[in-house]
Structure 1
Amino acid sequence: MKQFAFLKELYLSAFRDIGNFLVRNYFKLFSWFCFMLFAIVLYAFVYRLLTGYAF
């Protein structure tokens, strides 16, 4: 839980000082898009490991 709080604070402080509204929202959207893609990759990898796929 301590790591989650640290990541949350890191995420919030990363966007706190960006001035332009459009740029700030673009980077927020892009970061969430990257997090989702990374989660999909992790899911696919774990699924392949659990189903016995030969790499």
Structure 2
Amino acid sequence: MHQILHIKEIYKEAFRNWRNIFLKKYFKAFSWFCLALWLVTVYAFVFRISTGFAFD
């Protein structure tokens, strides 16, 4: 739980005091997109492991 709160604080600190609103929204959207891609990758890997896929 402490790690999640630490990550949340890092995220909030990264976007604090930004001047250009377009860049702020762009980088926030990009960070959420990267997180979504990472979650899809983890899901696919866990799915392959759970179905017995041979990584040869």
Scaled by the length of structure 2, the TM-score of the pair is: 0.94
Aligned length: 55
2: CA distance, partners of 1:43 / 1:5: 23
Runs of 4+ aligned structure 1 residues displaced above 3 Å come to: none
Q: Give the number of the structure with larger relative contact order, counting CA–CA contacts within 8 Å between residues 6 or more apart.
A: 1
Gapped regions of structure 2 (runs ≥ 5): none
Gapped regions of structure 1 (runs ≥ 5): none
Alignment-derived partner of residue 5 in structure 1: 5
Deviation at 1:17, TM superposition (A): 2.5
Alignment RMSD? 0.6
Matched, 1:27 2:27: yes
Scaled by the length of structure 1, the TM-score of the pair is: 0.96
Deviation at 1:22, TM superposition (A): 0.3
